[in-house]
Structure 1
Amino acid sequence: MSALVANAGWMGWNAFLALVPLVLAHLLFGRRQRPRWLLITGGAVFVAFLPNAPYVLTDVLHLPRDLRHVESWVAAGLLTQYLVLFAIGFVAYVLSLVRLERWLAERGVSRRAVLLTDLSLHALCAVGIVLGRVFRFNSWDLVTNPGGLLELVRVPQPRTVLVLFVLFTVLAAGATIARALPTIMDRAVRMG
């Protein structure tokens, strides 16, 4: 039971950070016209905070430690707690991207450019996740500690490139599957 309570603090904070890009997407990429300066500034903040949404998926590394030496009913609660966190993060990620895509499409941006934007954001999120998980940087470090971030700019090791590629693939494939799920489910219901 103590693991459930202990997780509430950091999971609550990570869930809050995962929802920030979704809130920003709704504020910035709605139907109302926004001043250009607000879109540029808000867009930069959106991109800086977007990795927080899928970042929660990497919190799975805490799960084995939490599951050690707990009763089965507590383990079920822990699994539920983690699944809710993962769902909040990934749904916030996908919905944030969908909101941006629709906003771009409404402004006549080509499908190719929207796809390129998506792929670029997946790549930036993969980098953001590594910066957060491995180097312990936060979104606000872009403003509060840019020097520390610049110190990390160097030729990445092959292992880091592999991790980035895997993260990029998971984000791109996961987002694509999540978007297709309603259509797949609808077809399955009609066929059944």
Structure 2
Amino acid sequence: MKKIIESPRVRMTVLLIFMTLFCFSLSVFRYYISETKVFLFLNWNLFLAWIPLLLSSFIVIFKIKSRISLAFIIIIWILFFPNSPYILTDLFHLRARNSIPIWYDLIVILSYAWTGLICGFISLNDIEKRLFSYGKKNVVNGLIIFFLFISSFGVYLGRFLRWNSWDVLNNPFGLFNDIVVRLIYPLEYTKTWGVTLLMGVMLNFMYFTFKWMEAGNHDNIQPKKVNH
């Protein structure tokens, strides 16, 4: 029991819960002071950002080995994963308002964005480690890079075209049409591919920084061999 409580994953999960509560308290306090619901929507966005982490945690906890089951969960995971970096784009809502100082709103948005991003990166790392059981390292790394670019494309669809993960079921043909037309006529949608490319590169830099920092910390806590 003690080993479970002291495990890095449990500690990180507890930290994320506290980060989420901190975010929630910021938005509630803002609502109490200003009597406006301006940033309460961030709570829903953060809830959606938790879904990829819950899905990948399910894979880890129950040690899903069936390739069909794993593929099915990963497909659902891909649909929700863009919600994690999406909160970064909520900085678009940052502007001076009379009731609340802009620095407070900046802290609110950045707190939600950081928490959502960490949820996403941990879930992506879970998926990466699981895929190592089925493929070569270079292939898996290629898939991870691809997932991050797919995610940035999903962020574009959500921010600028107002699609969301649920529209795969609610309006699949409309969503499919918006995606296909951009694939067929890429030069007519330079904004789409500009956002996708640049945000994809940024997310890759951020994720691999996160990943290698975690690997470095793990190496540092390993017991050193003593030469006799």
Quick one: which of 141, 146, 150 aligns to 2:176?
150
Q: Give 2:192's aligned amino acid.
A: T
How far 1:44 moved relative to its partner?
1.1
SS at match of 1:131: helix
Q: C-alpha deviations, 1:73-96, integer Å up to 9, x for none?
A: xx4432221121011111011101
Whole-angstrom distance in 1 between the partners of 2:100 and 2:77: 41
Distance 1:24 1:63, change over 3 A: same
Bigger mean CA offset, 110-119 vs 152-161: 152-161
Could you tell me how far apart the structure 2 residues matched to 1:15 and 1:7 are? 15
Runs of 4+ residues over 6 Å off in structure 1: none
C-alpha distance in structure 1 between counterparts of 2:74 and 2:35, whole Å: 35
Q: In the superposition, relative to structure 1, how do residues 61 and 8 fare at CA in structure 2: closer, same or farther (>3 Å)? A: closer
Taking every aligned residue pair, what percent have the same amino acid on both sides? 27
Q: CA 1:29 to 1:116, structure 2 compared with 1: closer, same or farther past 3 Å?
A: farther
- State the match for 1:123 in structure 2: 149
> Rg: which structure is higher?
2
Q: Which has the higher contact order (CA 8 A, sep 6+)?
A: 1
CA contact (8 A) 1:15 1:56 kept: yes
Count residues with an aligned counterpart: 181
- Where do residues 88-103 of structure 1 align in structure 2 (5 Å cutoff)? 88-103=115-130
TM-score, normalised by the number of residues in structure 2: 0.71
Are 2:112 and 1:85 aligned? yes
Pairwise CA RMSD of aligned residues? 2.3
- Alignment gaps of 5+ in structure 1: 188-192
Q: For residue 194 of structure 2, what is the aligned residue in structure 1?
A: 162
1:71 and 1:46 map into 2 onto residues whose CA distance is 36
SS at match of 1:6: coil
Q: Secondary structure at the match of 2:98?
A: coil
Q: Deviations over 1:104-160 (max 9, x none)?
A: 22x152110111111110111011111111111111111221110122121232232
| Structure-to-structure mapping, 1:1-192, within 5 angstroms | 1-2=30-31, 6-30=37-61, 32-64=63-95, 67-72=96-101, 75-105=102-132, 107-152=133-178, 153-154=180-181, 155-156=185-186, 157-182=189-214, 183=216
Question: Using a 3 Å threshold, how does the CA distance of structure 1 residues 71 and 126 change in structure 2: closer, same or farther?
Answer: closer
Q: Distance in 2 between matches of 1:18 and 1:87?
A: 11
Shift of 1:8: 4.7
Matched to 1:96, the amino acid is S
Normalization by structure 1: what TM-score? 0.83
Query: Does the 8 Å contact 1:20/1:49 carry over to 2?
Result: yes
Change (3 A) 1:19 1:71: closer
